[in-house]
Amino acid sequence: MDFPMLDWTGLKFQEIMNEAEKIRVTGNQLFKEGKFKLAKAKYEKVLREFNHVNPQTDEEGKVFLDTRNSLCLNVAACFLKMGECRKSIDACNKVHTLAFCSGVLDSLVVELKAS
């Protein structure tokens, strides 16, 4: 699946998240229609673009991580519906790993602020 390139250059964080939400909603509609491969492509597109998003505050970071985790779980659901159980498990494990890493980083930030 090849969709037009996203250009989020110059957008503020909330504008980026709004654009990501529009794409996620489109993916959800495709999923409901049984178009799992297309839905997965939509979710993955946003996840690729998220590699270039840098939240600036703790609140933005939380919103970003929650959205990224939700998209990863949506990808996992698509894989499951497509009969690709191993890939579904891998996508779920990615969320678990990202959540663990985020928790470790949060702990480090608390320690640094305390010292």
If DSSP codes are grouped into helix, strand and coil, which group holds residue 17? helix
Cα 25 to Cα 81: distance, rounded to the nearest angstrom = 18
Query: Given a cut of 90, is residue 114 above it in pLDDT?
Result: no
* φ, ψ dihedrals at 34, nearest 5°: 80, 15
pLDDT band, very low/low/confident/very high, at 52 (cuts 50, 70, 90): confident
In the numeric block, the tokens 């794409």 are attached to 23
Pair 28, 42: CB distance under 8 Å: no
Q: What percent of the chain has pLDDT over 90?
A: 57
Res 47: pLDDT: 94
If DSSP codes are grouped into helix, strand and coil, which group holds residue 61? helix
Q: The whole model's pTM is what?
A: 0.80
**Residue 58 or 39, more confident:** 39
Task: Assign domain 13-114 to its CATH architecture.
Answer: Alpha Horseshoe (1.25)
